[in-house]
Amino acid sequence: MSKDITIYDIAKELNLSPATVSRGLNNSEVLSKTTIKRIVEKAEELGYRHNNFASSLRKQKSHTIGVLLHELNSNFITSVLSGIEKVTTEAGYDIIIAHSGESYEKEIANATNLFHKRVDGVIASLSFTTKNLNHFKLFFEKNIPVIFVDRVDENSERTHVIIDNYKCGYTATHHLIEQGCKRIATLTANLKRNVYSQRHRGYKDALFDAGIEYQKDLVLVKDLSEESALEAAHEILSMKPAPDGLFVTNDFIAAVCMQELKRNGLNVPDDIAIVGFNNDAISKIIDPQLTTINYPGKDVGEIAARNLINHLKGTGDIQTTNRIIVRSELIVRESSLKKDNQKRPV
pLDDT along the chain (346 residues), means of 10: 76 90 84 90 83 52 89 88 94 92 93 90 93 92 92 88 96 97 95 93 97 96 92 96 96 96 96 96 95 95 94 77 89 90 54
pLDDT for 50: 66
The residues, any chain, with a CB within 8 Å of residue 67's CB and separated by 6 or more, are 81, 84, 95, 96, 97, 98, 122, 123, 124
Question: 3-state SS of 62-106?
Answer: CCEEEEEECCCCCHHHHHHHHHHHHHHHHCCCEEEEEECCCCHHH
At 57 the pLDDT is 46
Q: What pLDDT, on the 0 to 100 scale, is given for residue 83?
A: 96
DSSP per residue over 250-299, as a string? Answer: SHHHHHHHHHHHHHTT--TTTT-EEEEEE--THHHHSSSPPEEEE--HHH
> Phi first, then psi: what are they for 293, rounded to 5°?
-90, 125
pLDDT digits (tens, 9 = 90+) for 239-265: 999 999 999 999 999 999 999 999 999
Residue 3 has what pLDDT?
66
SS3 183: coil
Distance CA 309, CA 120 (A): 9
Q: pTM of the predicted model, to two decimals?
A: 0.79
CA distance 219 to 234: 14
User: How many C-beta neighbours within 10 Å does residue 261 have?
Assistant: 21
CA distance 219 to 7: 65
Beta strand pairing status for 121-124 and 94-99? unpaired
pLDDT at 1: 44
Rg (CA), the chain: 26
Domains of the chain (ranges; CATH) run 7-50 (1.10.260.40), 62-162+297-315 (3.40.50.2300), 165-294+329-341 (3.40.50.2300)
CA angle 232, 233, 236 (to 5 degrees): 85
Distance CA 95, CA 272 (A): 44
The string of pLDDT tens digits covering residues 305-333 is: 999 999 998 877 776 668 899 999 999 99
